[in-house]
Amino acid sequence: MNTKNEKNISIIIPTLNEAENIPPLLHRIAQILDSHCIPAEILIADGGSTDGTQSRVHEAARHYPQVRLIQSDGKHGLAGDVRYGAEAATADIVLIMDADGSHPPEVIPSLIQPLFQNAADMVLGSRYVPGGDTPDWPWARRLASRAATLCAWPLVSVRDPMSGFFAVRRKQLLELGSTASGFKIGLELMVRGGDSFRIQEVPIVFRDRELGYSKLGIKETLAYCKQLLVLSGGTVSTKHGLRFSCVGLAGLALDAAVFNVLLLLGLGVTGSHILSFAAATLSNYTFNARWSFADTAGLSQESSWLRYARYFLVCIMALFLRGAVISALVQGAQWPPQAAIFGGIAAATLVNFVGTAFFIFPTSYARKNTAIRWRVFGLCIIAYAVALRLAFSGVVDLIPEEAYYWQYSQNLALGYLDHPPMVSWLIWLSTSLLGKSEFAVRLPALLCWSGAAIFMFHLAKNLFDKTSAFFAVALMAVLPIYFGMGTIMTPDAPLYASWAGCLYFLERALMAQKEKAWWGVGLCLGLGMLSKYTIALLGPAILAFLLLDKNSRHWLTRPEPYLAAVFALVLFSPVILWNATHDWASFAFQGTRRWSGDPEFSLHVLIGSVLVLLTPVGFVAALSALLPKGWTKTLLAFRHPDQNQRIYLFMHVYTFIPLSVFILHSLQGDPKLNWTGPVWLAVLPCMAWIMSHTPQGTEKTVGFLQRLPWRSTAVGLLLLYGGVMYYILLGFPGLAPVKEMPLPAAWEEMGQRVEQLAGTIQTQGQDRLLIAGMDKYFISSQISFYDRPENGSMDISGQHLVGGNSLMWSKWQPAKSAWGKNILMLSFEREELEKASIATHFAALGKIQKQPVLKKSKTVTHFYYRIGYQYTG
Ligand code: GDD
Ligand code: MN
């Protein structure tokens, strides 16, 4: 007989005062084991019951010889007792379940089967997968349980990480050591396992106990939350928090003292301010390392100067966010500065504490689990980048393009000359709901970014794993092109969301063979075409993939792809309709303009643009992900022996086909900076995967080489964005805003200046003036946005009145309607107003005059104006 397999599984049941529950439970278990012929031993791991649980077990053991009592001293809690049980167990596979009947023994066979088949490393009974339920719970308890589950989302991939009903290999349970405590032993297993630990969930209906009482209370719930933070790598506790605050307050006092002393010594504001900041961070760092975080500070092998340098960067990041939050609250939300400072302090403290507890003095555990560390790092970058943008978007004046697209939304239509209508519709929706403001104009950009990020997350998760998914989104948060697309509202925002959505659904349709996903492809293509025509480049790429991939060719004979194309076309039909009634104006505009002009070799410009869009590190990473040979491929083959060819093809086709069009174009024409932006979306998942995974045994060397450039790039970019925003909003001490900096900070002031000017000229007895910006659309659009209707709206037109090109302005304000009017022409350049051709359009011309634009009573720029009398067309 095979003695090893004699006892196939060991069922471990922790008990604390469960006397009443033991007999019925054992009876149910025995029945199910019998009927499925599962040989098992049952270990009751008792934690010192005082209600006679032990004697009930002994009694039961007479009927069921496979039952044993494992008695502990009761000092190590639930997890400790489960561990005792596991040590005493003899089978390779252990199954843990509650004694109170909440966990239905009937699912035991489905919990152990995947382990025997080696299809999983852990199987849990789950309340939150389809088929699972908690029918006895009031809504409040359901909500609390869901909230606790949500907190674990970044760390684990399962739906029910709090489940206490699971099967696992005994060896792996014992490997945990005795660190796991309380009710979280399952969670520990899942988190420590990392991305390669295969977990399956089996639905269970969780019934509340009828006898005895629950031992899960506030204490256990709090311990769970703390455990999550510790598992995330943070040195977090009340003690650490309190000490950190003390150090922070002392640092504040030191900062103020040093500043004042240096000021008295005559050092000037700038020097004093910088030196006192350095002094305070140095003292804070020292006290944190020696006192607040002394327990984990010792674990690092890094030199303390290097660590201080990192701490300093965290402080600067906190400072930048603080400035942005204060400006947003004062200028945007109209808070009094006395109140806004607290918002600023709260934001800075949060950044500082998270940075310190998670990255400067992390737990020893975090140093080992790199997957979790990458996820947490990714999450923090994402949060910081989003917070910066939220604070920034309502305070900084619109850029001219945004003002122009806002003007679109004031002239709602099915199409426009230079772009499809989505950007206009979104701005219209947002400003109708929230009123006209910079924030309302830009909000759709952030929402589109979020949509793109969600698609990217799932795409990367489906192609690779959850850690890569976090990092793919982190890349979207920091890489210049994606940061920009989510900050500034242009047609690119909805384009990128649609592009990412399209890739997501294509992966579902082509790799996961889900036919319904084709509807998603059609939807995203259609919405994308309503945003910017560039997305049409995905069409040939889809066709190419269907032809090249032998597992996908069958789709060519199926209706779904064609239906998706028709669906996309239907969504796009408003634009076709608009074009049909406007002489095909926008098709002609995009078609001819892009491919005409003097042929000029510009491939180097294109490559330069990619270096800017992705940063050099991102560029190299994208290349190495795309290169056909090399270690990416080796890694891929290792991780996906059966799929790697297809993942490769997917990435290549959806990158290179759109890219090749831009490359071809650049051989003879000038590419625009942002053009290739969406193309790289198909490579991001693989880039994220490479950077967050290190071949085993090379963590020290390869791992370091992977981490260093990315960490510096990510942190460097965030500092750059924060710094630029800080500079625009507040200026740096000593480094006053550049003398002539109209953009992007003074459009509002300029608008008001023009309003005043027009007012004075009109009250001097002139007729009502028509205002015309003498550039493509910048001035007209900005003046129009910053016009204050409560003072009576201004009439605005563009330079088409005197023969220039002003895009849609010439449609909104046809020259005919200006006949006979007096026109106030505006320009930043004198020469524009001096042109001889201007005179031919008027009966008479006034003198060219210069006007300053003041911001905070300082002159920041000038513009010129000239009045043309009685426009003759
Ligand atoms: N040996 C030992 N020592 N057993 C204990 C101890 C202890 O300190 N504390 C509790 N138990 C046993 C109980 O006797 C019961 O069999 C099982 O552990 C679960 O305890 P309950 O008190 O019934 O907890 P619960 O039903 O509130 O919590 C259940 O659901 C949670 C999710 O909502 C458990 O399955 C948890 O693991 C799970 O997280
Ligand atoms: Mn229970």
Whose tokens are 């295969």? That residue is 198
Q: How far is the CA of 136 from the centre of ligand 2 (A)?
A: 12
Q: Is 80 in the pocket of ligand 1 (CB under 6 A)?
A: no
Query: Rounded to an integer, what distance in angstroms lies between the CA atom of residue 785 and that of residue 436?
Result: 9
Q: Which two tokens stand for residue 788?
A: 């204050």
Query: Rounded to an integer, what distance in angstroms lies between the CA atom of residue 644 and that of residue 466?
Result: 17
Query: Rounded to an integer, what distance in angstroms lies between the CA atom of residue 361 and that of residue 325?
Result: 26
Whose tokens are 């393009």? That residue is 401
- Residue 126: helix, strand or coil by DSSP? strand
Q: Is 582 in the pocket of ligand 1 (CB under 6 A)?
A: no
Radius of gyration of the chain (CA): 33
Query: Do residues 474 and 456 make contact, with C-beta atoms less than 8 angstroms apart?
Result: no
Q: Which two tokens stand for residue 755?
A: 């309003």
Pocket test for ligand 1, best of 78, 96, 128, 227 (most atoms within 8 A of CB): 78
In the predicted model, residues of the chain with pLDDT beneath 50 are 1-7, 739-740, 742
Confidence at residue 371, expressed as pLDDT on a 0 to 100 scale: 80
Q: Is 277 in the pocket of ligand 1 (CB under 6 A)?
A: no
Q: Is 77 in the pocket of ligand 1 (CB under 6 A)?
A: yes
Query: Do residues 519 and 513 make contact, with C-beta atoms less than 8 angstroms apart?
Result: no
Q: Which helix (H) or strand (E) holds 71?
A: strand 67-71
Confidence at residue 735, expressed as pLDDT on a 0 to 100 scale: 59
Query: Rounded to an integer, what distance in angstroms lies between the CA atom of residue 853 and that of residue 711?
Result: 42
Confidence at residue 618, expressed as pLDDT on a 0 to 100 scale: 92
- Which residue, by CA, sits nearest to atom 12 of ligand 1? 15
Ligand nearest to the CA of 182: 1
Residue 448 backbone dihedrals phi, psi, to 5 degrees: -65, -40
Pocket test for ligand 1, best of 84, 156, 215 (most atoms within 8 A of CB): 215
Q: What is the pLDDT of residues 38-54, one digit of tens each?
A: 999 999 999 999 999 99
Q: Is 243 in the pocket of ligand 1 (CB under 6 A)?
A: no
Q: How far is the CA of 383 from the centre of ligand 1 (A)?
A: 35
Whose tokens are 């020290």? That residue is 700
Query: Rounded to an integer, what distance in angstroms lies between the CA atom of residue 745 and that of residue 397?
Result: 6
Burial class (CB in 10 A: 0-12, 13-18, 19+), 332: buried
Beta strands in 137-253 (DSSP E): 166-169, 199-203
**What's the start-to-end Cα distance of the chain, in Å?**
105
Atom of ligand 1 nearest to the CA of 16: 14
Q: Is 216 in the pocket of ligand 1 (CB under 6 A)?
A: yes
Amino acid (1-letter code) at residue 164: G
Among left, alpha and beta (phi > 0; psi -120 to 50; other), residue 597 is left
Q: How far is the CA of 98 from the centre of ligand 1 (A)?
A: 6
Pocket test for ligand 1, best of 29, 146, 183, 189 (most atoms within 8 A of CB): 183
Burial class (CB in 10 A: 0-12, 13-18, 19+), 709: middle
Q: Which two tokens stand for residue 456?
A: 């990217």
Name the residue among 679, 537, 536 with its Cα closest to residue 618.
679
Query: Rounded to an integer, what distance in angstroms lies between the CA atom of residue 353 and that of residue 234?
Result: 10
Query: Rounded to an integer, what distance in angstroms lies between the CA atom of residue 661 and that of residue 669?
Result: 12
Q: Is 102 in the pocket of ligand 1 (CB under 6 A)?
A: yes
Query: Rounded to an integer, what distance in angstroms lies between the CA atom of residue 28 and that of residue 23?
Result: 9
Query: Do residues 670 and 600 make contact, with C-beta atoms less than 8 angstroms apart?
Result: yes
Ligand nearest to the CA of 96: 1
Q: Is 47 in the pocket of ligand 1 (CB under 6 A)?
A: yes
- Which residue, by CA, sits nearest to atom 28 of ligand 1? 216
Amino acid (1-letter code) at residue 178: S
Q: Which helix (H) or strand (E) holds 460?
A: helix 438-463
Q: Is 96 in the pocket of ligand 1 (CB under 6 A)?
A: no
